[in-house]
Amino acid sequence: MSATPAADGERKRATAGAPRAPVLSVDDLKAYYRTRHFGIEREVRAVDGVSFEVRDNEIYGLAGESSSGKSTLLKAIAAAMRPPLHVVGGTVRMRFLEGAKSLYAASSAELAQLRWRKLSYIMQGSMSALNPVRRVRRSFEDFAARHLGGTGAAFEAKVVAHLGLVRLDKGVLDAYPHELSGGMRQRVTIALATICRPDLVIADEPTTALDVVVQKDVLDMIRDVQRQVGSSLLLVTHDLGVHAYLTDRLAIMYGGRLVEEAPTETLFRSPLHPYAKHLIASLPRIGEAAPKVTLPGGPPNLAEPPPGCRFHPRCPLAMERCRRDTPTLTTVAPQHRVACFAVGGQA
């Protein structure tokens, strides 16, 4: 746990000093799936003009229903697109990328340098997150050794010290994944993702496969490790309870676009966007008797999205303008951005 106290202190001083560039800044990112079957081209605009920043030492949450484009956004941020997914516009900048250029301008050698060491990700807590026929020790060697450096005993000492952070003893190194409980497996994946003390960690539904008791345990662990390592965390899940518990700031995604972004508490207390309002209102509260109101319709088909605001067919506040123009995220209060004409958004 006290393997590198000096490095921790250095990080804290750095974060306490003058404001630095955000760890991650995404600007007008557009990522489309382009398919061609029998000469018919289809384009699914899964991520369509998304902009946000992740700052130092913060946990940034991204919420949205299925098919809202969350996973596509993550793939684009990790530069892990495979056909038919293409980034067609916008930039992704990371502070640790040389020359402040866009991620997509970086060579594959540069990407290989930064992945895991600077940018890493926490895998889903499913059975297949770790190779079932490799001992945990081998997984650390395969994934982290090249980035962490050190061989044999030196490497092992680093791994054991880091496992202490997630309260695992070195016995797990000799275990196969099926010999560990779901919570232990997820702690191993957290340790794997953070062992190089990366600047940015992406977590895609890290607790989805776990029951609520283990879930809370794992979430606490993620926060502890994040605070100690000093990484920024981009957390994606559809589970609003997880966001309320863990994140500092929260963005809501709908139909491939961000509709609202605010500090998590603000967003839960006073959501502005009609979709966010309904989403928050749908959460059960103790002592509440009134039945929940359901919005008619379903999420938009991103191959043929509605014109203008993508929420307008289901929106109770929809105006004529919403059918024509696309609202962009507009700052309506400090740190609070919303994309809706009815509540103060601009085109």
Partner 1 sequence: MLATVRDLVIYNPEFRIGAILVGLVAGMAALSLASPYAPLDTFVVAPDLPPSLAHPFGTTSRGQDVFWQLTFAIRNTLTFGIVVALLSRLLSLAIGLLAGYKGGWVDRVLMAINDTFIAIPLFPILVLFYFVLRDAMSWAALALIMALLGWAYDARLIRALALSLKTREFTYTGVFSGMTTRELLVREHLPYVMPIVFATTMNNMNWSIGLEVTLSVLGFTDINSPTVGGMIYWANQHTALVAGVWWWIAFPVILVVALFIGLFLLAVSMNEHIDPRSRLRRMGAEGGA
Using rule CB under 8 A, residue 128 touches partner 1: yes
Using rule CB under 8 A, residue 121 touches partner 1: yes
Which positions from 134 through 153 interact with partner 1, judged by CB under 8 A?
134, 138-139, 142-144, 146-147
Using rule CB under 8 A, residue 80 touches partner 1: yes
**8-state DSSP, 303:** T
Place of tokens 């929940």: 292
From first CA to last CA, the distance across the chain in angstroms is 50
Per-residue string for binding with partner 1, 172-211, x by CB under 8 A? --------------------x-------------------
Closest CA to 251 of 69, 22, 41, 96: 69
Closer CB to partner 1, 45 or 117, in the complex: 117
What's the min distance (Å) between Cβ of 209 and partner 1?
11
Q: How many residues bind partner 1 (CB under 8 A)?
A: 25
Structure tokens at 29: 């990112």
Place of tokens 């099926």: 178
Q: Which of 129, 235, 315, 322 binds partner 1 (CB under 8 A)?
A: 129
* DSSP E strand stretches across 38-84: 40-54, 59-64
What's the min distance (Å) between Cβ of 158 and partner 1?
16
Q: Which of 71, 124, 208, 326 binds partner 1 (CB under 8 A)?
A: 124
What's the min distance (Å) between Cβ of 141 and partner 1?
9
Stretch that binds partner 1, among 113-121, 167-175, 254-262, 325-333 (CB under 8 A): 113-121
Closer CB to partner 1, 73 or 322, in the complex: 73
Closest CA to 246 of 267, 264, 261, 259: 264
**DSSP SS3 for 187:** helix
**96-122 b/e with 16+ CB inside 10 Å = b?**
bbeeeebbeebeeeebebbbbbbbbbb
DSSP one-letter string for 65-113: -TTSSHHHHHHHHTT---TTEEEEEEEEEETTSGGG-BGGGS-HHHHHH
Closer CB to partner 1, 134 or 321, in the complex: 134
Which positions from 39 through 78 interact with partner 1, judged by CB under 8 A?
78
Structure tokens at 80: 């892990």
CA distance 36 to 154: 51
Using rule CB under 8 A, residue 86 touches partner 1: no
Contacting positions for partner 1 (CB under 8 A):
78, 80, 112, 115-116, 120-121, 123-124, 126, 128-134, 138-139, 142-144, 146-147, 192
